[in-house]
Amino acid sequence: MFITFEGIDLSGKSTQIILLKEYLNSKRKKVITVREPGGTQISEKIRDILLDKKNLNMEYLTEFLLFSSSRHQLTKEVIIPNLKKKYFVISDRYYDSSTAYQGYGGMIELKTIRYVNNIASGALTPDLTFLINISIEECIKRKKLMNKTEDRIEQKKVSYFNKVIKGYLQIAKNNKNRFVVIDGTKPIQEIHSEIISVIKSKVKI
């Protein structure tokens, strides 16, 4: 099963991925977790270029194609081989991130995004996608608590992130068969239980 987590930064994706991995391991399931951009030696190098604050003059299309290149490498090198070995593959972001950030964020036409996403993923679609939804105000609150420094993408404006949040909700609406939208302001354990019950409704664990 290929499970992806989506949502703006600090929505709680990594927290939930760790809990889910622990749960599945406790049920003796084979699990591999990956993150985007990154997850392979080549993809991590692409990640460094994408998040580097010095790369301020990066063209939007360059940015999108770099995310897509990182994704393609990760898909071929890690995701597909592990799905073939019957692992649960859990990814922190996948191509819905490009649709939300680069597409609904307003940089690249959605038609182009869909076309390239399909090529980069080799037409692989997640079986299940959890969208952890928080507001930009909640994100800012968490950022302050964490004293987090911002990477190149996180330095963009509030209006941009609001477009990304709206975009994510639209993508979820358009893909109801695989999307589950979760209120990210609920307590961590409550979200975890919700995630487990959704997975249990799909596969035997």
Binding region for ligand ADP (CB under 6 A): 7, 9-15, 142, 146, 184, 186-188, 191
Does 154 contact ligand TYD by CB under 6 A?
yes
Burial track 147-183 (b if 16+ CB lie within 10 A, e otherwise) = eeeeebebeeeeebbebbbebbeebbeeeeebbbbbe
182 touches which of ligand TYD, ligand ADP, none (CB within 5 to 8 A by kind)?
Answer: none
The site string for ligand TYD over 74-93 (x = CB under 6 A, - otherwise) reads ------------------xx
35 binds, among ligand TYD, ligand ADP, none (CB under 5 to 8 A by kind): ligand TYD
Residue 102: which of 42, 181, 160 has the closest Cα?
Answer: 160
Distance CA 15, CA 188 (A): 8
**Looking at the DSSP assignment, which residues form a beta bridge with residue 90?**
3, 33
Minimum Å gap between C-beta 175 and ligand ADP is 20
Shortest gap between Cβ of 33 and ligand ADP (angstroms)?
A: 12
Nearest to 134 by CA among 180, 165, 171: 165
Q: Which of 84, 70, 85 is nearest to 34 (CA)?
A: 70
Contact flag: residue 73 with ligand TYD (CB under 6 A)? no
Residue 7's binding partner among ligand ADP, ligand TYD, none (Cβ under 5 to 8 angstroms by kind) is ligand ADP
142 binds, among ligand ADP, ligand TYD, none (CB under 5 to 8 A by kind): ligand ADP
Q: Given the rule CB under 6 A, which of 19-27, 72-80, 97-105, 194-202 is the region that contacts ligand TYD?
A: 97-105
- The encoded tokens of residue 30 equal 């084979």
**Residue 29 vs 106, nearer CB to ligand TYD:** 106
Which residues are CB-neighbours of 116 under 8 A, at least 6 positions away?
64, 65, 68, 98
Nearest by Cα to 161 from 176, 186, 140, 175 = 140
Decide: 97 and 35 in contact? Cβ < 8 Å.
no
Q: Indicate whether 97 belongs to the interface with ligand TYD (CB under 6 A).
A: yes
Query: Minimum CB separation from ligand ADP for residue 73, in Å?
Result: 21
Q: Contact residues for ligand TYD (CB under 6 A)?
A: 9, 35-37, 67, 92-93, 97-98, 101-102, 153-154
